[in-house]
Structures are given as C-alpha cells and as structure tokens.
Structure 1
C-alpha cells in the first residue's frame, strides 16, 4: 500500500527555538505519528543556512521529516509590522502542495490551498469568541482590530475544510452555532503532551534541582520558584503577573519568566519601576529540555492570560506534578481538577496574588497525584495515535472506494 502523505502547514522552523503551544503540538504529532505516514512540514527557516523554496530531508526527534522552508523568518518569537502569517500565506500563493492530509494551524494560509487535492483539516488553538469579540486587549492580534474582516474570511474559507478541530470547548460551541451547516465537521480535540520530557521528580530530585537552580542564580537555597512560560505578548498579559507578584510580597519567592516577545522592553521597565529586580528573572527563550527541568524545580506554574485555547504549559506543569494558578482563560478551568491548582477569582493583581498565596501556603492541598490525574488524558502518544488511526481508516476507505 502506498504511504499516505501527511503535510503540516505552519510558519516555524521545527529545529529552531520558536515558542508556543502550536509548535509543541506539531512536534508531538511528528514524533508520535506512525511510521506508515510520509510526514512533511511546510514552514519557515530560522536562519539562512539552508536554501528556501526547496524540499530537504531531515530527522526530528528520531522521525524522518521532509521540510520545505518558504522564507527566512528569523526570530519568530517577536511580532513584526507585517504579521508572519500574512508573509507565509503570500509565499504559498501560486504553489500546489498536495497530499492525502493537509493540516493547517492558521486560517489564512488555507486561502492559497483552494483547489488543492487532499483532506483538509483546520486546527483552532484559541477561544475565538474571547479572542475576537470580548478581549479587553486589542493589541495582541491584528485581526482584533478588524473582527468583521476576520469573520468574512472565515465564511469564505471554512467550507473548504473537511474537518475543523478545536482544542477549546467554547470555540467548538461557537463555531457550531455560527456555522450550523458545518456542525458535523466541527469537533473538539485534545492537545498533545509529550510525557517523555515532562514527568514528576522524586522528592530528592526536586529539592536538588531547586537548590541547584537557586545556586546558579545567586539566590538562597530554599527559594521557591514561580514559573511563567510563554510569549511575552499582550495575550499572555505578563504585566498583570508582575503587579500580582508585587502584591504577593512573599519572602523567598522568585518568578522565572521563560520566553521572548515584543513586550520584553516594557517588562524590564516595569520590573524596575515596581522594585522587583531581586524577585523576577527574565530567562529568554528556553529549550524544551531545559524547560522540563524548570518545571520540576518550580513550586507552581502561573498564567495571567487574557484569552487562551488550551495552554500547553498547563499540561506540562500538571504532568510534572506541579499545580497551576491561572486567570479564567481558555479551557484551563475545565482541566484543573480539585487539588491540581486554582483559578483567580478576577483578572486583577490582588485576586491573582491571593490565588498564588493560597497554593504557596498550603502545598499539601495540591499533591502531585492530583496534578498527574488531570494531565493523564492528554498524553501525546495516545492522542496522536487516535488521530492517526482515524486518518488511516479514512485513507483506506478512500482507496477501497476508488478501486471499486
């Protein structure tokens, strides 16, 4: 039997340091996809070491991958005047990249794929209603300033997809209500968590890693670490988190901010203005292996997002046996079972600080076992396996029908 071709479209270099849940989910798909698939990724080059516009073969996490970089994107953790998604879409125009399965993680690039053969799937990674219609922050995404234009694009192109898969339950409901004729194609999918990296430490390992991290940073051995991981971007609202840390004013607690983005300069300025220089460290982009170590060394993970889909950092924390404190964004409130974290009552520094204080003061109420229980349904090997098996079944059905 011919190997089915699975092509993923997204604007990143899988061998680079691009930050984000989408990138992590795509890497998990590549790692755990059955060998029967011919895997391809149409992305961007992180630098100019490799020629753009040409397919090349490589290996990613032990898996063979054909890669087509459309252009050199440089550091895609920082937003540009012309959004990378638009540049990526423009680079696809006029091409014809067909296959058995075409997976899109942004809507706009599918414009270039109209008329291409292959089963098309669109993955929705955010709470679209909150992102486009109710978010108080209108500087996180260009489309937020022109929601009518975005929804006009949706109406034009969503019908081209054979499947629309949302990691956020609110978006699933929103799309089914907004496009009832497509309701049968709209489903919820579970994000993919790579547990080969994220697992809980033993008590001895946790203490040793925490003390080693404190020593590296010149801090007291008993320092407790709060971990924020993600883009320094308006969607994540890291400035709210800084104000919450100021209100927390808890001795021996240090915030680690892992990530990069256009708010970095403002964050550094705010850290100084709030007098937090000895309580906050900006780590920049952190490789996945190092990020897993930071999870195990931290006391908890904190999110201050305005809107989310299903933030992967939540699953990474829970799989590491660490509780989560978050604003009420995305599907995080649905994931956190009792004892695996807390949701801030309001999106205010005081409420977020109160939630952090509760977890810090009562660690026994948030045991690793409860965190692991919450993360268990999202293990990448299982989720990707289910997705791939369904794809293979449809592929075989089409082959049988075509041969009849």
Structure 2
C-alpha cells in the first residue's frame, strides 16, 4: 500500500524562531503525525540558497524528513507589510497543482487557488473571525474588517470544499455551525496543544534557582519576580495595555519580560520610555521553544491583555510549565482556567488588570504548579495530534483497501 501524502499550506518558515499559534500547530503536526504520512510543507523562504523558491527540497525537523517548498521570500513574518502576506502567498499558489491525499489549510484565502486540486481538505480556524473583524482598542485587526460582506461572501463560497473544519475556539466552532448548518457535522472543536517534551514543570527549588540565575544575568535584584508575556506585538494582543498595566502595578520587585516582535514594537518601546519603565521591562526577540520554556518556568505568571483570541498557545505552554495565567476574557483560555491555576480579568483597564497581577504576586501559594499542570494534561500534543491523524490514516487505509478489493 502506498504512503499517504499530507500537504500543509501556510506562509511561514519552520526554521525561523517566529511566535504564533499557527506555526506551532504545524510544527507539532510534523513532529507527532504518524510516520506513515509523507508530509509536504508549502511555506516561505528565508534566503537559504539550499532551498530555492518554487522548488521542492528535502528537509528535516525534529528528526523527521519531509518535503519543503518556499513559495515566496519572507524575511520576518512577525512584521506585517503593506501588502498582506496572505495575498502574496495566494498569488504564488495560482497556476500550480498540489493535489494530495490530504491538504491542510490555515487561512481560507489560499484555497482560491486550489479549486482544481484533488484530495481531502482540512481547514483549521485559529481565531474568532467575528471578533477579529472588530479589531481592538489599539487598532489593527484583519484588513477584511473594512469589507466584512465581501469576506463572508468569499467564505460562503469556499467553506463547503472542506472535509473537516477544526476550530481551537468553541465559540468560533459554534458560529460556523450556525452559519453553515448544511455541513455542521464537518465542524468540530479541536484544542490547541502543548509539547510535553519541551514544556514541563520543575521542582520548587529548581524554579527558584532558575529565577535567581535570570535575575543575576539581567543585573537585577535576586528578589525580582518576573511577569512574562510572549506573543506578537500586534493590536490583537493590546501590548500597550500590557505596559500600562505593569506601570499601574507599581511594584519595585516586579520585572516585565516581553518576548516578541510586531507592528507595534516601536509604540511599545516609546510607551516604556514615556512611563519611565526602561529599567523594569526587558524586550526580547522571538525565542526557540526550549528557551521560551525556561522563561515560563521561572516567571511568577504569564499574562495576556488580548482583545480577542482563539486559544492562546502561550497560556497552555505556561500552565504546562507550572506557571499560572492571568488573562483578559478573550478566547478559549478563560473556559478552562481554574481558581488555582489563574485569574480572568473582567475589566480591560490598567488598574483592574494590575490588581489581578498583584493577587498572584502576593499569594503564589494559591496557584501551585501542580494545579497548573493538571489543567492542561488533556492538551498534550503527543496524544491529540497523533490521535486525529491516526484517525485520518485509518480512514485512508480503509478506503485504499476497498478500492483495491473492487479491482481484485
């Protein structure tokens, strides 16, 4: 029996240290999907002459060999350009044929180019599109927000091509089921996942030693407590609200770590300067997962000030590392946080958010590592990803057997 091919479409390069839930989702598929799949990734180039644009190259990630084709060059996918990357990527797909046994899409627009391709199609929904259309108080949002009727018309035309539609947000899944009642059986909730081989908790003594070591490396007092945010500095995440909330906290022993890049980076730096926080906030570029996990494990909390989310992968990574999460009511995270694993901020103001951060700093014993880890046990990528792709593989094998039997 031949090997099934799974082709993944998304505008990123898996060897770049980018921050984003979609990128991590794809990396986990490469790592944990059954080895019976031949995986192909149609992504973007980073200038590597060994992987020329428009050509298939043999690649390896996590010890797994797969085929990789960069469609366009993209220096930094954390920064939005004047022309949306999705548009450039979709245009580069036109006129090509990537027919496969399975095709995985993470944006609906590229499927415009896939009308004549054969194979089963899987569509991942990573955000609440209705909320995303509204943007945030810090501007931004997707460009479709200016043309919502056009977007929904396009979506309605394209959505029925998918054999499975998977959403990491229960509200978004319900919205799709309501809008497209004729295909509701194809739409389901699939949680984001976390790699337990990378994100895991330490003993209290190890956490404390790591915290002191980081404080010393940054030239800070050994009494410093770290508050961590990791994500793109985009309007969706409301990073200016993050910085203002830290200013409102006004705790000399607290230090804010911001890991990420994005279109609001200069605004964030300016706000830090304006609020005279330069010695109390450290900005770091996107990090590889292992180094990011080290920061989760030594921080007092992971914080989100987002206007909207799907299921923020940073929140489940932090919890897996035994670190509580304090979040605005955005996306899926508030639906699974427990009283001993984090706090939900109902009001999106600096003072209200700072007050919730203060509770965790003053009462860390109320948020034990064991409680945090317990919350995300069902989200282990080894089991979730392997499970869904094992199901696809078994269905494919069954269909192949029936086809062979018909011609025996």
In the TM superposition, 1:361-376 aligns within 5 A as 361-376=362-377
Segments of structure 2 that go 5 or more residues without pairing to the other structure are none
Distance 1:306 1:180 in 2: 28
Q: Which residue of 1 aligns with 2:356?
A: 355
1:276 aligns with 2:277: yes
Q: Does the 8 Å contact 2:135/2:235 carry over to 1?
A: no
Residue equivalent to 1:301: 302
Task: Report the Cα offset of residue 26 of structure 1.
Answer: 0.8
Aligned runs of 1:139-154 on 2, under 5 Å? 139-154=140-155
Alpha-carbon shift at residue 251 of structure 1 (Å) = 2.1
The answer to whether the Cα contact below 8 Å between 1:164 and 1:187 also exists between their aligned partners in 2 is yes
Quick check: 351-360 or 137-146, which moved more? 137-146
Shift of 1:390: 1.2
Task: Give the TM-score normalised by structure 2.
Answer: 0.97
Name the CA distance, whole Å, in 1 between partners of 2:369 and 2:225: 16
Following the alignment from structure 2 to structure 1, what is the Cα–Cα distance between the partners of residues 245 and 47? 37
1:158-169 matches, within 5 Å, as 158-169=159-170
Match of 1:194, SS? coil
Aligned match of 1:157: 158
Report the CA distance between 1:128 and its aligned residue.
1.7
* Residue equivalent to 1:397: 398
Report what 1:59 is aligned to: 60
Provide the rounded CA distance (Å) in 2 between the counterparts of 1:326 and 1:181.
Answer: 35
RMSD over equivalenced CA pairs, Å: 1.2
Shift of 1:140: 2.6
Query: What is the CA–CA distance in structure 2 between the aligned matches of 1:182 and 1:348, rounded to whole Å?
Result: 40
Structure 1 Cα separation of the partners of residues 152 and 399 of structure 2 = 32
The CA deviation at 1:388 is 1.1
CA contact (8 A) 1:200 1:319 kept: yes
Q: Counterparts of 2:192 and 2:122 in 1: how far apart (Å)?
A: 15
Offset at 1:288? 1.4
Does 1:228 pair with 2:229? yes
Query: Alignment length, in residue pairs?
Result: 404
Correspondence for 1:126: 127
Q: Does 1:3 align with 2:3?
A: yes
| Farther off after superposition, 372-381 or 394-403 | 394-403
Runs of at least 4 residues off by over 4 Å:
133-138
Q: Find the counterpart in structure 1 of residue 43 from structure 2.
A: 43
Q: Is the 8 A contact 1:133 1:147 kept in 2?
A: no
Deviation, structure 1 residue 130: 1.3
Residue 80 of structure 1 corresponds to: 81
Deviation digits for residues 1-38 of structure 1 (CA, Å, limit 9, x no counterpart)? 11111111110011112210110111011111111110
Q: TM-score, normalised by structure 1?
A: 0.98
* Corresponding residue of 1:381: 382
Farther-moved stretch of structure 1 (308-317 vs 178-187): 178-187
Contact 1:138 1:144 in 2 (8 A): no
Supply the distance in 1 between the matched residues of 2:134 and 2:143 (Cα, whole angstroms): 13
In structure 2, C-alpha distance between the alignment counterparts of 1:78 and 1:48, rounded to whole Å: 20
For residue 108 of structure 1, what is the aligned residue in structure 2? 109
Deviation at 1:400, TM superposition (A): 2.9
Match of 2:260 in 1: 259
Deviations 1:157-209 (A, max 9, x none): 00111111100000011011111111111111121211111001112211111
C-alpha displacement at 1:133, in angstroms?
4.6
Alignment of 1:23-34 (within 5 A): 23-34=23-34
Equivalent residues of 1:6, 1:38 under 8 A apart: yes
Q: Give the Cα separation in 1 of the matches to 2:294 and 2:218.
A: 15
Q: Which residue matches 1:207? A: 208
Deviation for aligned residue 1:402: 2.3
Is contact 1:48–1:72 with CA below 8 Å preserved after alignment? Answer: no
CA contact (8 A) 1:52 1:70 kept: yes
Contact conserved, 2:137 with 2:238, CA < 8 A, in 1?
Answer: no
Q: Which moved more, 1:132-141 or 1:9-18?
A: 132-141
Residues 137 and 255 of structure 1, relative CA distance in 2, 3 Å threshold: closer
